[in-house]
Amino acid sequence: MDFKLVILAVAPAITLVLFIYFFDKHDKEPISLLLKVFLFGALAVVPIVYVEDLLMTFNIFPGLASAFYVSFIVAGFTEEFFKRLVVMKIAFKNQHYSEKLDGIVYSVMASLGFATVENIMYVAISFKDDIYVGITRAFLSVPAHMLFGISMGYYLSRSKYASSTYDANKYYKKSLIVPMILHGTFNFILLSNHPLLIIVFIPYLIYLWSVSIKRLKIYQLESKNESEYENMIDN
């Protein structure tokens, strides 16, 4: 395996991990817990590959219907389900998950853990002779996993801190459905190879980034206000 290609595959995810880590300015999570979530996100590739291979055996659809099935069910549902499972099993009930921004941080860590292994499989193994695959995925696919993770964490935190069981259940469902739809739409546009759909890809990316940054800022502001309040009480 070419070491340079491994670096090309890993670097985008590590860069985004650092971005999210430093974005969480006011109440940082323990590095050991973040690494654990990242690692299990990476290990999630094992059941994901198995389930995706199984689901692909049911892909009897032609044309765009096949692209839809692969995008939303095989990839979108399976990958987001297991990434969320990692967060639920490791971080959701942990004492360090103490504010809404934490949901985004942990969800992004799980997502980028998976994205790291997936990217190595694509860039350093499957398409090792085409460096442009690595470059393209560095700017599109890997950041997309982070953006899906932001939406997942946004709704997980709304579920965790909901004022009623009804709202908690509603947002918990959305923590899977929303990233699944975002993920599926991203893949479908690319897999369809349809000129009319390709035209909307850039606007869709702009939408993904704008919504994600907005959600990050909402929870960062809450984190800042809580931190300032706690400091005021302590003083």
Enter the pTM of the model: 0.94
Q: In the predicted model, what is the mean pLDDT of the chain?
A: 93
pLDDT digits (tens, 9 = 90+) for 207-235: 999 999 999 999 998 877 765 545 555 55
94-116 pLDDT, tens digit each: 999 999 999 999 999 999 999 99
Residue 2, pLDDT > 50, answer yes
> Under a CB-based contact definition with an 8 Å cutoff, are residues 151 and 211 in contact?
yes
How does pLDDT run across 128-181, given as a tens digit for each residue? Answer: 888 899 999 999 999 999 999 999 999 999 999 999 999 999 999 999 999 999
